[in-house]
A and B are shown apart, each in its own frame.
Chain A
């Protein structure tokens, strides 16, 4: 194990005493390059201080310095990423609540729900989807679809292969061999082996397809593909019991 070492010993031999160089009039200037190649002398890359010739002022740097002076005067702040350095949940405090005006709880809930919905629409609204009999879950972006039909097709695509792998007892799976994969159909009309259900924002389990699509998206929290034969079981036991199992 290394003990603490003196910094001086670790310095590379070519490092000079920089202090006396600094007291010279010379300054170290960085070259500001964007994707501009030109005939720039290649930056000498060595683990030592720059030679005398590297310290000259370039045009690029002169421009940078004068633009610095221009920004000294107070101007309207342009939006800069990550500035000022505050966490995102601290932004918009002044605008999101009114000073001293009574704000009812339902207003708060609506505001926060709306914010969430906007957030969902902007980011891609991913919900979990599990299928009975398949141990691995998937996630599906509900913003990518606008009808139940398209969602149903997507669910088939997500789980067809996984279901086949689960049911394949031979233990041998040849990549690209899709012979044993059965399409998953009838998710919405009750005619298929499986049915699509979802859990809404009140924790209740609902059949997919009853309400307009946008209403579904605004209240869905997660999806499940269950065996159609289980539906009668669920309605007998009641929603409350199922909530804790989801």
Chain B
């Protein structure tokens, strides 16, 4: 079939498509579109590093400038994935180093990154501008030193929520004195001191610095120095926000008032309330405020928030209490995203008056609210119904009631109708995390109504396999499903096997999925990897009808992994089960 458009025209049209889902869709239209698209795609997103492999990437795309890779499943954030599972980025770096000499941006999430890998990055990608490591581990400050010393074009070094082995405080000094391009530096996750003089010199010679997120060890007394050197900052994260006496106050307040472009504040470990007013001059500019380390009481939190009329994103601890959230509802009319973390998650009784009422208030007062992550100790169906009716525009709703299987505290019934109301009224819902007492009925509602749902997280919920069946057969847009401690077994999984190929991944831990079912699924579905993650001894002698500890199922074009530890098996790919090849 001859093509109606010349390739150059097609390429030009494609250049307007920036989202990877659009690019993927376009590549499926025809062989010629596929070929044209692959030659001109320069930003590649790989949501599961084991869905493909490095050679598949470099064979298909030839001139990549930006790559984004994700490794471990989301529940790794909560220690459900044993250490050593995988997701190491080194093989990717080796292969990309071979082919993509012009690589400018690397973004990794939940991957294992080694110092050797960082050294390869530093020496292999001379044009590297952006390095974002989110929730990664496996590397030390030595690797960072290599990056600092060699990446002459670096603009962004963002270590968000990484676990770094901190061997030396001097890695920052490895940025050469001639290096002046830095735009963004996030070291908030480091727990040890960094050399302040090196930091100060780096900030002083970086006129384009827009984002600076310090770690806890940078003392408050030094903040004004840094802010004076970088009044152009847009995002700033403080260190420990406390000092002895109030001597540092006036210079700090003055320094903040000089930051005319500041839009985002975070940090605030160990807050001394007397120092909070130092930020008042910038509050009305703020669109994002993260006080989730600030262990101050509600009145102090409310005071600062009441100044933030343009706030779009708020992250706080439950110290804000229902009264503080009422202040949010009246003061922050542009609020889009609310996150409330628990201050004392392991204590049974509430010691802070934060209830479902706080969330209801915000849902009433903040008409633009679309994303919620809320930890609390009690919930009712009526509150959930109200929230869903107040805010049908919610797209992300994550509710964690701290005690598993908590019923509606007013009626002692399951929270099925409440969550059912959420999925029925919030028609654009793409992400949902549920908690509390839930029966199969809630899954019936979800399967029936949540047609745009992309990611679903379930814990301690449901009665029978029917629950899982409703989800897998009803949620048309579902791509990521993660389940723990639910009585779901083999039947729903096997009956919906083909659905799994339309999803990125399914995680099930502490459920009733048996070894035999995993093997069968792996045998019947060649394009799925059915990974059983099980740390028990003598796995070979456990009968097939016994449930596995954890199973992680994902679609892949590559089949076998070759880097599995002994507690990971990919089931059903050989005549017998596939065991670790060591």
Name A's B-contacting residues (CB within 8 A).
Answer: 1-4, 7, 10-12, 15, 18, 22, 27-35, 37, 40, 42-43, 45-50, 54, 64-65, 68, 71-72, 74-77, 79-91, 93-95, 97-100, 102-105, 108-109, 112, 116, 127-128, 199, 203, 221-222, 243-244, 246
Contacts and interface: CB of A to CB of B under 8 A. Distances in A.
B492 interface: yes
Q: How large is the interface on B (under 10, 10 to 19, 20 to 34, 35 or more residues)?
A: 35 or more
Contact of B292 (A80, A85, A88, A90): A90
Contacts of A116: 191-192
A48 B250 CA distance: 72
A126 B296 CA distance: 37
Contacts of B490: 30, 43, 45
A172 B338 CA distance: 65
B177 interface: no
B462 to A, nearest CB: 10
A84 to B, nearest CB: 5
B216 A108 contact: yes
B407 A72 contact: yes
Interface of B is mostly: loop
A128 B167 contact: yes
A1 B27 CA distance: 9
A128 B142 CA distance: 10
B317 interface: yes
A34 B515 CA distance: 12
B469 to A, nearest CB: 7
A28 B464 contact: yes
Given A102-B272, A222-B167, A29 B404 contact: no
A77 B167 contact: no
Contacts of B297: 99-100
Nearest to A46: B494
Given A27-B464, A108-B217, A112-B191, A35 B342 contact: no
Interface string B492-530: 101101110010000000001010110010001000000
A88 B173 CA distance: 29
B342 to A, nearest CB: 7
A83 B78 contact: yes
Q: Which of A85, A108, A246 has the most CB of B within 10 A?
A: A85
Given A42-B545, A43-B517, A46-B494, A30 B80 contact: no
Contact of B402 (A11, A84, A128): A84
Nearest to A37: B543
Nearest to B485: A80
Contact of B79 (A1, A88, A128): A88
Contacts of A22: 466
A42 to B, nearest CB: 7
B219 A105 contact: yes
A90 to B, nearest CB: 6
